[in-house]
Chain A
Amino acid sequence: MKKQKLVIVGNGMAPGRMLEYLFEKDRHAYDITIFNAEPRVNYNRLMLSPVLSGERTYEDIITHGDDWYAEHGVTLHKSAKVSEIDRAAKTVTSETGVTASYDRLVIATGSNPFIIPLPGKDLDGVLTYRDLDDVGKMLDAAKRGGRAIVIGGGLLGLEAAAGLKMQGMEVTVLHLMPTLMERQLDPAAGYLLQEEFERRGIEVRTKANSHEIVDDGTGKVKGIRLDDGTQIEASVVVMAVGIRPSTELAKAISLDVGRGILVGDDMRTSDADIFALGECVEHRGICYGLVAPLYEMAEVIADNLLNGTSEYTGSVTATKLKVTGVDLYSAGDFSEGEDREEIVLRDAAAGVYKRLVLKDNRIVGAVLYGETSDGPWFFDLLKKRSDVAEMRDTLIFGQAYQGGTPLDPTAAVAALPDDAEICGCNGVCKGKIVNAISEKGLTSLDDVRAHTKASASCGSCTGLVEQLMQVTLGDAYNPAAVTPMCGCTHLGHSDVRRLIKSRELKTIPSVMQELEWTSSGGCAKCRPALNYYLVSDWPDEYADDYQSRYINERVHANIQKDGTYSVVPRMWGGMTSSTELRAIADVVDKFNIPAVKCTGGQRIDMLGISKEDLPAVWADLGKAGFVSGQAYAKGLRTVKTCVGSDWCRFGTQDSTGLGIRIEKFMWGSWTPAKLKLAVSGCPRNCAEATCKDIGVICVDSGYEIHFAGAAGLDIKGTEVLGLVKTEDEALEHIVALTQMYREQGHYLERIYKWARRVGSDEIRTRIMEDADQRKLYFDRFVFSQKFAQVDPWSERVSGKDKHEFRPMAVLQAEAAE
């Protein structure tokens, strides 16, 4: 019988592997002809990155050399791009004029790099990263030096960036999404990866949307301009934003094509004699770009070419980033879901992050960063759908920890000698801590910190100190004594605040990573708290995350039970005028506001306003000179006053004037919880200053400053901070006190609770007796006000956050039918 003819279009890794499988089964089944558009034999495309970085050469990465083709009797046409396939005559013809006939045809045309349709995309110096020619061009560019911009922070883009950096170029990576490799990594791992790249001197810009590639006037690349107007100079732009299945040929011969060439489970296209293989394929709606699935397809086709009945049923994929020194592994599906559980291990100091996603006691996804040696083991469990219930407790530690007796973590600490250093920051050894615990009867971590300073700085030895307490105290030690901030962390608010400062954490993702948050995105409890801490600690550097703010602070109004909002303009010190009242009356009429009420803070509340009307309401109020009263803020609310010496026959000082002065100085500041003040002109206390967070009672000899009152869930009279002589001093003391509270308070902790926790005497000493300290607090408050005193209403009238106030779409009834 005459030998059957097999023609393969494309000579990438997938058809190469397919031939290996075929030859294993039957070396002589087919006469084989390959058309390759590239002028080469088969090489390992996965190893392009080491070639780019200079760690390998082209010769190192050849899979099948010319000898191999000769030995197996395969005819390879190099540089022969196929231009025509005649399905009726069963022939394939190349642009070079070579024709071959086939009984079976395999189309393996691979994929094309996706070119973003930016202005300037055709300029000299715009490259892609797909084959050896691209690598050659990048190496040429690197010899000339300068800066390269890589668009795309996915697998290929990052490998290209690392390679170009190793070739001596300055490199900037632009990535549209907020974190790198978001398809394979969750945000926490993406953050670690970004840090690692930045450590290598590669600039990474996320959320960066390219606007155009700039021409230097001679048709060459000069740089890139982003949507936000930023311009970055560069001599080379590498687009690595993804691939598109190459389907032109299949389309030209009318095979069924979706995103890729459509195949069934037998890998046949809509023509039973034509198979499709590799990145050009769409199977069950999925196009694959990683090598493992392509190899599985290759095996199925090899069998079916020999009249087998193999089926390809889709793959779960695993990814490894091939950048020397970066260990990263991701596999499967790691989105969250009600029926899913996650196990997260973070070791910030070692830069290790591991996350397993489980469903019904089976691993469905895994992300490993920093330490990836267990990747294949997890992937194996995932693919085999193994039940992991038995080893769940130790699963995340990897294969080496399965099967043995669990280690007692305290045993190692108990075995340490007395002179072993526990706290490196403060030089505290084990013996000192153990002695302090037993001699002074310490039972809480805070006590141990207070007496020994162990774990009181960076906090990284906290775990060791706790284990020491456990060893020393036995059952008397209750580590749960610190109430965690929320279910996402074991740390309390104080620890989190201390660590944000000492480790200079300046974004919410970095806090969650460095402090080993156990959820991947926080919750509605910790997110607003972290946002406040960062706003408070890094006023000039931190970009306020509105999505982490409660709705009232996001839209600058108070949400009501029916979803409408109430609006309270500021009335400084509770003073108003006919013009202001008239403006309010006009707004109430114009917008049909159903309820108007005087508040307890001496201002006017308009209730029942729809969200969409808010900007228009604010615009009208703004014209009359009103700014936001921040009646919704965990921040400065009101300064209540009485009429004082201006009008009152008992008034001793200008309490109204002082109240207005304080309010104008402090408005806009964020505080741990709401902050309400009052100034009374005499001890009759008509402004009710003695149940406020901070109050002033004016007396003949000056100003008595009060703090830590409460008149809500708890009722508590204020405590006296001290007496000062002048208005200026009163202001300085009040501001310094507020700043101390801003820096130390736990989120949602009112001043009276903070004072109870840290001690009123401590506060009094700092503010009244230590003038230097007071001045520092005062100055820090003034500094932060530079960034806080912006009227949020006028900002929104001018268009900021306009998406908040408009529906995204209005669907008519018919559209929904």
Chain B
Amino acid sequence: MNAETRSWVAIGDLMDIPREGARVVKTATGCIAVFRTVDDEVYALDDRCPHKGGPLSQGIVHGTSVTCPLHNWVFDLATGLAKGADEGSARTTAARIENGKVLLAADDLARRTG
């Protein structure tokens, strides 16, 4: 599916998220961490580390990775996959920016079951 035909949900302004930081979006099926990289790209992952449930939104963002604040697992923001020796993944939600607004893909949001 391409960006034109997909429908998107606006969650706020890009400027609401600190660069190299994250904000939380609450949904009925759990929290989503929305990350902003130093290059102003946005990515969204479930705000739950697959290891011990740590809130990834609270981690340090470096490059296109985030390090979980509880036990330092490192995740690739684009794929949600753990890097290095650790194995696991955090579910991704497609995110993009349009006119300074951060948008999440509605179909990804709908697929979440908690």
Binding site for B on A (CB under 8 A): 177-178, 182, 186-187, 285, 335-338, 519-524, 527-528, 546-551, 554-555, 559, 561-563, 803, 807-813, 815-817
- CA of A803 to CA of B68 in the docked complex: distance in angstroms? 19
Given A811-B11, A811-B109, are A550 and B69 also a contact pair (CB < 8 Å)?
yes
Within 8 A of A (CB), among B85-113: 102, 106, 109-110, 112
Q: Is the CB of A808 within 8 A of B60?
A: no
Given A550-B60, A816-B9, are A563 and B38 also a contact pair (CB < 8 Å)?
no
The chain B residue with its CB closest to the CB of A547 is B20
Within 8 A of A (CB), among B23-46: 23-29, 31, 34, 38-41
Residues from chain A with Cβ under 8 Å of B18 in the complex = 546-547, 803
Q: Is the CB of B19 within 8 A of A178?
A: yes
Given A559-B58, A808-B12, are A521 and B63 also a contact pair (CB < 8 Å)?
yes
B52 interface hit (Cβ, 8 Å): yes
Q: Is the CB of A337 within 8 A of B64?
A: yes
Q: Which of B4, B27, B39 has the most CB of A within 10 A?
A: B39
Q: Is the CB of A551 within 8 A of B58?
A: yes
Residues from chain A with Cβ under 8 Å of B109 in the complex = 811, 815-817
Residues from chain B with Cβ under 8 Å of A177 in the complex = 40
Q: Is the CB of B54 within 8 A of A563?
A: yes
Q: Is the CB of B62 within 8 A of A522?
A: yes
Residues from chain A with Cβ under 8 Å of B40 in the complex = 177, 182
Instruction: Sample 30 A-B pairs with CB under 8 A, ordered by A number.
Output: A178-B19, A285-B4, A338-B76, A338-B78, A519-B63, A521-B20, A521-B38, A522-B63, A524-B67, A527-B62, A547-B21, A548-B20, A549-B60, A550-B69, A551-B60, A561-B52, A563-B55, A807-B26, A807-B31, A808-B12, A808-B17, A808-B23, A810-B26, A811-B11, A811-B25, A811-B26, A815-B9, A816-B29, A816-B106, A817-B106
Given A527-B60, A809-B26, are A547 and B19 also a contact pair (CB < 8 Å)?
yes
Q: Is the CB of B16 within 8 A of A524?
A: no
- CA of A178 to CA of B52 in the docked complex: distance in angstroms? 35
Residues from chain A with Cβ under 8 Å of B72 in the complex = 524
Q: Is the CB of B62 within 8 A of A808?
A: no
Residues from chain B with Cβ under 8 Å of A803 in the complex = 16-18, 23
- CA of A187 to CA of B38 in the docked complex: distance in angstroms? 8
- CA of A815 to CA of B108 in the docked complex: distance in angstroms? 12
- CA of A809 to CA of B10 in the docked complex: distance in angstroms? 9
Residues from chain A with Cβ under 8 Å of B67 in the complex = 523-524
Q: Is the CB of A524 within 8 A of B62?
A: yes
| B39 interface neighbour in A335, A337, A519, A549, Cβ under 8 Å | A335
Q: Is the CB of B28 within 8 A of A812?
A: yes
Within 8 A of A (CB), among B60-87: 60-65, 67, 69-70, 72, 74, 76, 78-79, 81, 83
Given A527-B60, A551-B69, A816-B112, are A563 and B25 also a contact pair (CB < 8 Å)?
no
Q: Is the CB of A561 within 8 A of B21?
A: no
- CA of A554 to CA of B22 in the docked complex: distance in angstroms? 12
- CA of A337 to CA of B43 in the docked complex: distance in angstroms? 12
CB distance from B51 to the nearest CB of A (A): 11
Q: Which of B17, B18, B31, B59 has the most CB of A within 10 A?
A: B18
| B24 interface neighbour in A527, A554, A561, A808, Cβ under 8 Å | A808
Q: Is the CB of B60 within 8 A of A524?
A: yes
Residues from chain A with Cβ under 8 Å of B54 in the complex = 563
Q: Is the CB of A524 within 8 A of B23?
A: no
Residues from chain A with Cβ under 8 Å of B4 in the complex = 285
| B83 interface neighbour in A338, A519, A522, Cβ under 8 Å | A338
Q: Is the CB of B81 within 8 A of A338?
A: yes
Residues from chain A with Cβ under 8 Å of B11 in the complex = 808-809, 811
The chain B residue with its CB closest to the CB of A183 is B39
Q: Report whether over half of chain A's contact residues are helix, strand or loop; otherwise say mixed.
A: loop
Q: Is the CB of A547 within 8 A of B79?
A: no
Residues from chain B with Cβ under 8 Å of A812 in the complex = 28
Residues from chain B with Cβ under 8 Å of A520 in the complex = 63
| A551 interface neighbour in B39, B59, B112, Cβ under 8 Å | B59
Given contacts A519-B63, A547-B21, A816-B28, 10 further A-B contacts (CB under 8 A): A177-B40, A187-B39, A285-B3, A336-B63, A521-B38, A524-B72, A547-B61, A803-B23, A810-B27, A816-B9
Give 5 nearest A-B pairs by CB, closest first. A524-B67, A808-B23, A816-B109, A547-B20, A809-B11
CB distance from B64 to the nearest CB of A (A): 5
Q: Which of A527, A562, A815 has the most CB of B within 10 A?
A: A815
Residues from chain B with Cβ under 8 Å of A547 in the complex = 18-21, 60-61
Residues from chain B with Cβ under 8 Å of A561 in the complex = 52, 70
CB distance from A304 to the nearest CB of B (A): 26
| B23 interface neighbour in A335, A338, A807, A813, Cβ under 8 Å | A807
- CA of A178 to CA of B38 in the docked complex: distance in angstroms? 8
- CA of A549 to CA of B60 in the docked complex: distance in angstroms? 7
Residues from chain B with Cβ under 8 Å of A808 in the complex = 11-12, 16-17, 23-25, 34, 102
CB distance from A527 to the nearest CB of B (A): 6
Q: Is the CB of A524 within 8 A of B74?
A: yes
Residues from chain A with Cβ under 8 Å of B60 in the complex = 524, 527-528, 547-551
Residues from chain A with Cβ under 8 Å of B81 in the complex = 338
Given A547-B18, A808-B11, are A335 and B29 also a contact pair (CB < 8 Å)?
no
| A809 interface neighbour in B21, B25, B39, B53, Cβ under 8 Å | B25
- CA of A808 to CA of B25 in the docked complex: distance in angstroms? 5
Q: Is the CB of B64 within 8 A of A335?
A: yes
Residues from chain A with Cβ under 8 Å of B102 in the complex = 808
CB distance from B86 to the nearest CB of A (A): 13
Residues from chain A with Cβ under 8 Å of B27 in the complex = 810-811, 813, 816
The chain B residue with its CB closest to the CB of A555 is B58
Residues from chain B with Cβ under 8 Å of A337 in the complex = 64, 76, 78
Residues from chain A with Cβ under 8 Å of B69 in the complex = 550-551, 559
The chain B residue with its CB closest to the CB of A339 is B79
Residues from chain A with Cβ under 8 Å of B17 in the complex = 803, 808
- CA of A338 to CA of B65 in the docked complex: distance in angstroms? 9
| A521 interface neighbour in B12, B21, B31, B62, Cβ under 8 Å | B62
CB distance from B45 to the nearest CB of A (A): 13
Residues from chain B with Cβ under 8 Å of A338 in the complex = 76, 78-79, 81, 83
Residues from chain B with Cβ under 8 Å of A523 in the complex = 62, 65, 67, 74
- CA of A13 to CA of B3 in the docked complex: distance in angstroms? 32
The chain B residue with its CB closest to the CB of A816 is B109
The chain B residue with its CB closest to the CB of A209 is B15
- CA of A177 to CA of B38 in the docked complex: distance in angstroms? 9
- CA of A523 to CA of B52 in the docked complex: distance in angstroms? 21
Residues from chain B with Cβ under 8 Å of A816 in the complex = 9, 27-29, 106, 109-110, 112
- CA of A367 to CA of B50 in the docked complex: distance in angstroms? 36
The chain A residue with its CB closest to the CB of B84 is A487
CB distance from B62 to the nearest CB of A (A): 5
CB distance from A337 to the nearest CB of B (A): 6
